Chains A and B, each alone.
Chain A
């Protein structure tokens, strides 16, 4: 039998056998095979080889899946894809916020007492009134973040403005400032909680040393009194 000169057709015979050709290619190749004795015989041989290949035992899919490691990003408590798509639940957000707040409260104790002692303003005029939780801004930086009980946080040092009472107030709109009252995390929306967590986590990455700007602000406040 004369060998087929159509290399492309011969090469594609296993693809035809395994159903891996598109409709058009499949039709073209079948047309060729029907007209070519060599390719027709080779395709028949390949079918026979495939048919006589050893059968494999049944595989227990469930057993294999049970043995797999959990993914690193697995939400083991949230297998529901819909819940995952909506993001973390409010309870989880609040739990994380409380944990982050507790950590930040340690920092608050160091500098917050200074501001607490100087505070004399009406709580309704200020974004923050708590003595135990930090106030964070949208962009936390060592010079911008003021951990205080009665002060709002500035986004940048340049925008710090002291009120007549000596309390530094936020120059930004409230929308960009997250404020907390004592135990107030439960009152916050999911969006605010997410922002709070992100900002507290950014604060975690700050150097442990007292930021210079904070010290500077304390001094300047002392001059105003």
Chain B
């Protein structure tokens, strides 16, 4: 059985949380640095287009305000993702807007491809994005967390308030749907 290797990362998080509780402010900086980018990517992949930095900040503020209630059963990152997801849902309820997947412009510098190669590459990227956009919200979330974040099904279930089995089914249905979309 092939298994993930995240024990050391979780131990580091627990150690940093302990240091922060004891008054070491540098531990907070380390914790934010470790998880902020992943939270931002999760928010962007989930359809958030604006004020992602505010969302990430709110996630950390809420998490640190209730670190005493964090028992360490799940990883800290999973817990942070759970908080971020709830904040996103609250946002959408408050703003009553449709969940959309408008791609964010790439910040990468242009390559040395010729014009045709660029066009083909862009088209392929667009097709892949559309394939993911076409997934159901739950399939998209599971697929994003599994592929982009490499989360285990157990952690995905924790974030989404679902079960491991359901997360597994959603993932396999998602990848099958993406393949079918691209084959069409």
Contact = CB atoms under 8 A, between A and B. Distances in A.
Contacts, number: 145
Given A53-B41, A61-B29, A75 B103 contact: no
A53 B4 contact: no
B5 A21 contact: yes
A74 B25 CA distance: 8
Given A61-B29, A64-B57, A56 B144 contact: no
Contacts of B67: 71
A56 B37 contact: yes
B48 to A, nearest CB: 9
A45 B178 contact: yes
Nearest to B33: A61
Interface size class of A (residues with CB under 8 A): 35 or more
Interface of B: 1-6, 19-26, 28-29, 32-33, 36-37, 39-41, 43-45, 52-53, 56-57, 60-61, 64-65, 67-68, 101, 103-104, 106-108, 124-125, 128-129, 132, 143-144, 146-150, 168, 175, 178-179, 182
A64 B32 contact: yes
Contacts of A208: none
B6 A68 contact: no
Given A54-B104, A65-B29, A68-B64, 14 more contacts: A11-B168, A14-B147, A29-B2, A53-B132, A54-B41, A56-B52, A61-B33, A62-B29, A64-B60, A67-B61, A71-B22, A73-B23, A74-B23, A79-B24
B32 A25 contact: no
B20 to A, nearest CB: 6
A84 interface: yes
B33 A17 contact: no
A56 B43 contact: yes
A22 interface: yes
B80 to A, nearest CB: 12
Nearest to B104: A54
In this complex, the member of A20, A65, A79 whose beta carbon has the largest number of chain B beta carbons within 10 angstroms is A65
A164 interface: no
A54 B45 contact: yes
In this complex, the member of A25, A56, A60 whose beta carbon has the largest number of chain B beta carbons within 10 angstroms is A56
B32 A65 contact: yes
10 contacts: A18-B150, A21-B2, A45-B175, A53-B45, A53-B144, A55-B41, A59-B53, A65-B29, A79-B23, A81-B19
A90 to B, nearest CB: 19
A42 interface: yes
**Across chains A and B, which 6 residue pairs bring their CB atoms closest together, nearest first?**
A18-B150, A56-B40, A12-B2, A54-B104, A59-B36, A56-B44
A76 B25 CA distance: 9
A115 B133 CA distance: 85
Contacts of A84: 22-24
A158 interface: no
A57 interface: yes
Contact of A20 (B23, B103, B150): B150
Contacts of A17: 147, 150
Contacts of A60: 53
A63 B26 CA distance: 14
A224 interface: no
A42 B147 CA distance: 11
Contact of B147 (A46, A57, A61, A78): A46
A205 interface: no
Nearest to B172: A10
A117 interface: no
Nearest to A63: B57
A15 B2 contact: yes
Nearest to B1: A8
